[in-house]
Amino acid sequence: MSVDKARILVIDDEKVIRDSCKRILIAEGHIVKSAEDGDIGLSLFKEFRPDLVLVDLKMPGMSGMAVLEEIESSDANVIKIVITGYATVSSAVDAMKRGAYDFIPKPFTPDEILLIVARGLERRHLLLESEALRVEREMRRRNMISLVSHELRAPLAATVQYLEVILGGMAGEISSEAKEMIDRCDIRIKELLELLSRWLNLATFDPMKIAEHFQDINLSDVARESIEVLKSLAEEKKVSLSLDTPKDLPPIQGSKMLLEEIFTNLIGNAIKYNKVGGWVKVALYEKDHEVWVEISDNGLGMKEEHLSRIFEEFYRVDGRRNAPIKGSGLGLSIVKKMVDAHTGMIDVESKFGEGTTFKISFPKFNI
C-alpha cells in the first residue's frame, strides 16, 4: 500500500455525506466504496479489504460503535475514523476505546477530511511496516531454531541408530562389558536428545499462540491421566501416589497438552526427589473463584536459599554434574511459563528434609 493511494470504505446512512466523501477522496486518487448501514458496511469490509474506514456513529440498525468493534476485532491494523454529528467528548472517548484512530465532526470541509484521512493512512503505513518487521523477525527466529535443532539432532539420531543396531545384536556379538558401556552411551545420548527437545519447547513457546487454542478443561481428568503415566515410576521408587478431587470441580480455560506437562513435571519431581516409602499427594479444590492445585510430598525438600531460584532456567538445586538424580534444570522454568500462559500463579513451600508443596491457582472459567 502506498500512502497516497488507498482503499477507503465510508459507512454512513446520509447519502449526502457518502457522496461528498466519495467525491473528495476519489479526486485524491483513492479507491472508495460506501455503504448505507452497518450490516452492508461490514460485509463490504470483508470483500473490499479497505485500509481505512470512515464510520458514522449514529445510524439506524447496527450502531457505529458496534461496527467499530467488529472491524477492530477482525483487523486492528485497519484505521477507523468516526464521523459524528454530536461530537461530544464522551462519545469520542468511547469510540477511541473501541479502536477508533480519530474522529471528524459533521459538517466538515474537504480540507478537514483530507487531512484526517492522510494522517490515518500514514498511521496505517507505520502499523503495516512494524507488523511486517515483527513477522519477519519471528520467522527468522523460528527458522534459526528449526535449523539448529536439525543440525544438533541429526548426528545424535544417527549415533543412537547405530547403538540400536549394536545393542540389538545386528552387528555381531559384543562382550558383556562392552554392552554395558554402550548401554550407558545410549542412555546419555538419549538424555541429550531429551534436553534438546525441552530447550526447543522453551525457545519456541509462544503464550499468545497457545491461548488462541484454549478450551475448557477439567483438571481432575488431567491429574488422573498424569498420575496414570507416572504410576510405574512411583512403583519403581516405592512412593505412594494419591489424588483428592471433588466431583464437581469447575473447568478452567487451558491447553490440555500444557496442563498435562505441568502436572507430569511436578508430580514426576515429587516422585524423583523422594525416599522409599514416601508419598505424593495431589489435591484439587475450588476457592475464591479459582481452581487450586496442590502437589505435595514428604520427600527431600529444599533449603530456603534455593526456593527463590527454582523457577530460573537451568537452575538445579543439586548443582553437581554427577548428582544422583538426573534432570535438565529446565523443568520448573517451563512449568512456570506454562502456568503464566494460563494466567495462573504458582508458589512453593518447602522444608529441607521434610517435603515440598507446590500450589497453583487458575482462574475459574464461567460460561
Partner 1 sequence: MTQKKRILIVDDDPDFSTAIQKILSSANYDVDVAGNVKDGMQAIEDKMPDLILLDVMMEKYDDGFNMCYDLKHDDRYRSIPVIIITAVTEVTGLKFNPETDGEYLDAEDYVQKPISAEALLDKVKRLI
Q: Which residues pair with 292 in a beta bridge?
A: 285, 361
Cell (9 digits) for 224: 488422573
- 10 Å CB burial of residue 27 (0-12, 13-18, 19+) is exposed
b/e code 162-200 from CB counts within 10 Å (16+ = b): ebeebeeeeeeeeeeeeeeeeeeebeebeebbeebebbb
Q: How many residues bind partner 1 (CB under 8 A)?
A: 24
Which of 73, 77, 88, 197 is in the footprint of partner 1 by CB under 8 A?
197
Stretch that binds partner 1, among 159-167, 213-221, 292-300, 326-334 (CB under 8 A): 159-167
Q: Which is nearer to partner 1, 134 or 150 (CB)?
A: 150
Which of 40, 114, 118, 160 is in the footprint of partner 1 by CB under 8 A?
160
Closest CA relative to residue 54, chosen from 97, 87, 100, 23: 100
Which of 145, 185, 243, 283 is in the footprint of partner 1 by CB under 8 A?
145
Residues 217, 252 contacting (CB under 8 angstroms):
yes
Identity at 279, one-letter amino acid code: W
Stretch that binds partner 1, among 86-94, 127-135, 157-165, 322-330 (CB under 8 A): 157-165
Query: Does the protein bind partner 1 through residue 154 (CB under 8 A)?
Result: yes
Residues 294, 358 contacting (CB under 8 angstroms):
yes
Instruction: Give min distance, CB of 143 to partner 1, in A.
Output: 9
Q: Which is nearer to partner 1, 143 or 242 (CB)?
A: 143
Residues 281, 223 contacting (CB under 8 angstroms):
no
Query: Does the protein bind partner 1 through residue 210 (CB under 8 A)?
Result: no
Stretch that binds partner 1, among 97-105, 110-118, 151-159, 273-281 (CB under 8 A): 151-159
Task: Decide: helix, strand or coil at residue 105.
Answer: strand
Grid-cell match 538424580, residue found: 325
Which of 3, 27, 126, 157 is in the footprint of partner 1 by CB under 8 A?
157
Residues 6+ apart with CB under 8 A from 332: 265, 269, 310, 311, 315
Residues 117, 8 contacting (CB under 8 angstroms):
yes
Query: Does the protein bind partner 1 through residue 134 (CB under 8 A)?
Result: no
Query: Does the protein bind partner 1 through residue 27 (CB under 8 A)?
Result: no
Residues 353, 301 contacting (CB under 8 angstroms):
yes
Q: Which is nearer to partner 1, 75 or 206 (CB)?
A: 206
Query: Does the protein bind partner 1 through residue 182 (CB under 8 A)?
Result: no
Query: Does the protein bind partner 1 through residue 187 (CB under 8 A)?
Result: no
Cell (9 digits) for 350: 518447602
Grid-cell match 484454549, residue found: 214
Stretch that binds partner 1, among 27-35, 122-130, 195-203, 271-279 (CB under 8 A): 195-203
Q: Which is nearer to partner 1, 88 or 197 (CB)?
A: 197
Residues 299-358 that bind partner 1 (CB under 8 A): none
Stretch that binds partner 1, among 66-74, 116-124, 164-172, 236-244 (CB under 8 A): 164-172
Strand order, beta sheet including 240-244: 240-244, 279-287, 290-297, 355-363, 345-351
Q: Which residues bind partner 1 (CB under 8 A)?
A: 142, 145-146, 149-150, 153-154, 156-162, 164-165, 168, 170-171, 193, 197, 200-201, 204
